[in-house]
A and B are shown apart, each in its own frame.
Chain A
Amino acid sequence: GQQLNQSPQSMFIQEGEDVSMNCTSSSIFNTWLWYKQDPGEGPVLLIALYKAGELTSNGRLTAQFGITRKDSFLNISASIPSDVGIYFCAGQPTTSGTYKYIFGTGTRLKVLA
């Protein structure tokens, strides 16, 4: 199926550093969701974005709905070891009549203590 371009694919960072990742698409989206998935578990919703330009925070996490409606960004400040996992973006195309989301390819984050 269709997938979003998510980058970087993986990253190793030192504890305490800030992290940035993004998703881009050729289509316009109505909604962006960001998830974190730990091994062997289902994704957990981190942040939901509904309007172009919207900037939303959840603790150390901040996500933005790109002004063009074709991209979204997730930032993690002052990373800690438990931030390790795979982060997925998910976008709902304007043409999605059944609330289907398209998922990004994932960003695998590893934090070095």
Chain B
Amino acid sequence: GAVVSQHPSWVICKSGTSVKIECRSLDFQATTMFWYRQFPKQSLMLMATSNEGSKATYEQGVEKDKFLINHASLTLSTLTVTSAHPEDSSFYICSARGGAGGYEQYFGPGTRLTVT
């Protein structure tokens, strides 16, 4: 139980294009999902908190117009990197809140984005 999937697992795009990453909770409903970014050999950096049916809450320093988040259903959240640039290249990981106590976070396998 508590499986989270992400698609695609890796993507290469040209500078100036947009990329959409999907995050799905496969066997549970997730009212809250989180999007993280991770640089090599570093910890996870929270980008935004996504609640189903409402606007995402972005962390300080994260451009909401660049990283568009949509949480249209209890099992799906999407992150769109708009007008991507090489500095947006990173490992993006989503997580969904769930579990017996409702306080656990389960992570997706991550998406490696490379912008050329």
Q: CB within 8 Å of B: which residues of A?
A: 1, 3, 30-31, 33, 35, 40-45, 48, 50, 88, 90, 92, 98-101, 103-106
Contact = CB atoms under 8 A, between A and B. Distances in A.
B112 A88 contact: no
Nearest to B2: A45
Given A1-B60, A42-B107, A90-B105, 19 more contacts: A40-B91, A40-B110, A41-B109, A42-B4, A42-B93, A42-B95, A42-B110, A43-B107, A45-B2, A45-B105, A88-B44, A98-B51, A99-B103, A99-B105, A100-B46, A100-B49, A101-B46, A103-B44, A103-B46
B103 A92 contact: yes
A48 B95 CA distance: 15
Interface string B91-102: 101010101010
Contacts of A33: 104-105
Contacts of A50: 101, 103
Interface string B1-28: 0101010000000000000000000000
A99 B43 contact: no
B32 interface: yes
B116 interface: no
B99 to A, nearest CB: 7
Nearest to A48: B104
B110 A105 contact: no
B67 interface: no
